[in-house]
Amino acid sequence: MEAVKENFYATIDGLDTPVSRIFYGTAAPPYNTGGDGNAMLDRVMELGVNAFDCARVYGKAEASLGRWLATRDDREKIVILSKCGHPDPLGRRRVNAKAMQRDLTRSLAELGTTYIDIYLLHRDDPASPVSEVVETFNEMKAAGKIRLFGGSNWTHQRIEAANEYAYAHGLQPFSVSSPNFGLAEQIDDLWGGGCVTISGKDGAAGREYYRKTQIPVIAYSSLGRGLFSGRLSPDATKKQAAEVLDSYAMKGYYCAENLERVRRCGELAAQKGVTVPQIAMAWIFRRGLNMFAVVSTSSAERLQQNIEACGIELTEDECRYLNLEV
């Protein structure tokens, strides 16, 4: 585990504390229902994960996380990521200065903190000018309310446009990105509203952009929402898979190609004496990206396995095999 620990933290420009390669996700019970998750959050920190993923739209997760923060005296060692600008219940886009500022005010109050380390726009609106977004983020940063910012579900082209505007006007650029990325190819937009993936063949240009720029990628749904949980048989029928996966995972990931990826993960896991999710998690850290992964679990043991997966070595041939390239 010590070898894993050495490489488990990374420096992100703009943050004073090293950041764990795993972000603990709060878009799940008990956090999003406002429950008490303090014991698990303390355990997360004990295991070495110091980064936490949240969003204004994750029910009562910010309030739950905020109550935990109030019990600790090490805020400066904790990295909080939250998100603004999610579409409203009617699907109307909210990528504008007014919505961003309103969401930030509410998030700071719920979290009980004076600043958010990483602040992301949860979705994009191509009709919204990047100038307004970049200037608003910079105002938040200048006020000391956020440390750095970026986009969740923003294409690399829009991020590049935002950063070109920032550089041209002497402003802080987007520093991080949070798309979907994992071994499973996403065959459909899970939630609608413009979710962005850099997985699969269609994501090749995005992956190349992030390899070249080394902008930190904070990937969500890297294990395919349970596809690589180890509970799904690669021979599962659609009906059988639906007993393991939720409707979103079925919509986004259930297909013959992904089941073959599950089979190959199982084969390699058996050879290496590890688990299927560990192989799938290790794969994303071997693709040349400045990678971080959001993990949601109620089990400290499973979180420990995800941490250990960051240190599992895979050869390039093994990575290609897992991704059906050979």
> What's the pLDDT tens digit per position in 212-232?
999 999 999 999 999 999 999
User: Is 264 part of a structural domain of the chain?
Assistant: no
For the chain, the domain total comes to: 1
Q: 136 in a domain, yes or no?
A: yes
**190 found inside a domain:** yes
Assigned domain for 271 exists: no
Residue 322 lies in a domain: no
**Phi, psi of 267, rounded to the nearest 5 degrees:** -65, -45
Residue-wise pLDDT for 141-167, tens only, equals 999 999 999 999 999 999 999 999 999
Collapsing DSSP to helix, strand or coil, 26 comes out as coil
Q: Give the model confidence (pLDDT) of 58-77 as tens digits.
A: 999 999 999 999 999 999 99
Q: Is residue 212 part of a domain?
A: yes
Listed residue (16, 27, 65, 29) closest to 45, CA to CA: 65
Write down the pTM of the prediction: 0.95
CATH number for 103: 3.20.20.100
Instruction: Assess contact for 54 and 26: CB atoms under 8 A.
Output: yes
Q: Is residue 265 part of a domain?
A: no
Give the domain range for residue 307: 2-230+279-313
Please report whether residue 273 resides in a domain: no
What is the 8-class DSSP label of residue 220?
Answer: B
